[in-house]
């Protein structure tokens, strides 16, 4: 790998396991905050496993400059009770998982406060996830939009809820395994609540 290359990611809300696995590869990554925000992506949504199957949780956002709003300027629409809805869904999905009680106090405060900008909310959560999983990757924000080039490893749109995910993950025990076959590449919290301290070894 070129030592002068830049590893570029988009922001993500409770990212998929595959994204965290990619972050784990690098010593340093950049989050592109100067891209035009792309809707219906993992930038503001995640997938968890509920009693009814895979569930998508989306943070409502406000594009203050319409379709040309930069990611750094995307605001969270806190007029909607999304925090209460998301935490209730997470608690319902994972209250019986082996490590939920161990980690809940770390995650619950995020759903009891209001944050203005999506990038700030996502980044604070990402820092928590890296700490809990023992990943040492340095996270930096871009200072400009990264144009595609030979010096860029562009992972901004490599994984999307709108694309068929062909990534094959190793299986681990999931909460509702008696009801569903293993569901691949859910949010990192699915792995964390089910595997706890063994999460880093899995990644």
Grade residue 161 by pLDDT with cuts at 50, 70 and 90.
Answer: confident
The per-residue pLDDT for range 110-123, each reduced to its tens digit, is 999 999 999 999 99
The confidence band for 164, taking pLDDT boundaries of 50, 70 and 90, is low
Give me the residue label for tokens 């992506």: 41
d(CA 70, CA 37): 5
pLDDT at 1 over 70: no
Q: What are 3-22's pLDDT values in tens digits?
A: 557 899 999 999 999 999 99
Q: In which band, very low, low, confident or very high, does the pLDDT at 37 lie, cut at 50, 70 and 90?
A: very high
Q: What b-and-e string marks burial along 9-20, b requiring 16 or more CB atoms within 10 Å of the CB?
A: bbbbbbbbbbbb
DSSP 84: H
pLDDT at 162 (0 to 100): 65
Claim: this prediction has a pTM higher than 0.85:
yes
pLDDT score at 119: 97
Residue spans of alpha helices (H) in 80-117:
82-94, 100-107
Contact 21, 133 (CB under 8 A): no
Measured CA to CA, the distance from residue 28 to residue 48 in angstroms comes to 27
- Spell 185-196 as b/e; 16+ CB within 10 A means b: bbbbbbbbbbbb
Could you tell me which residues are beta bridge partners of residue 73? none
Exposure of 155 in the CB half-sphere (CA atoms within 13 A) = 20
């Amino acid at each position: 790998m070129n030592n002068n290359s830049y590893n570029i990611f988009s922001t993500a809300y409770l990212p998929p396991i595959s994204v965290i696995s990619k972050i784990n590869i690098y010593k340093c990554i950049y989050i592109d905050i100067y891209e035009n925000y792309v809707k219906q992506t993992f930038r503001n949504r995640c997938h968890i496993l509920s009693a009814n199957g895979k569930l998508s949780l989306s943070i409502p956002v406000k594009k203050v400059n319409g379709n040309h709003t930069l990611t750094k300027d995307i605001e969270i629409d806190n007029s909607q009770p999304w925090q209460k809805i998301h935490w209730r869904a997470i608690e319902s999905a994972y209250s019986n998982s082996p490590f939920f009680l161990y980690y809940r106090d770390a995650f619950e405060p995020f759903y009891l406060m209001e944050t203005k900008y999506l990038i700030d909310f996502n980044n604070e959560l990402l820092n928590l996830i890296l700490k809990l999983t023992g990943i040492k990757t340095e996270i930096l924000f871009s200072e400009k939009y990264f144009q595609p080039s030979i010096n860029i490893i562009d992972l901004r749109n490599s994984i999307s809820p709108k694309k068929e995910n062909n990534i094959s993950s190793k299986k681990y025990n999931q909460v509702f395994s008696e009801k569903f076959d293993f569901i691949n590449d859910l949010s990192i919290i699915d792995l964390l609540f089910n595997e706890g301290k063994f999460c880093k070894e899995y990644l």
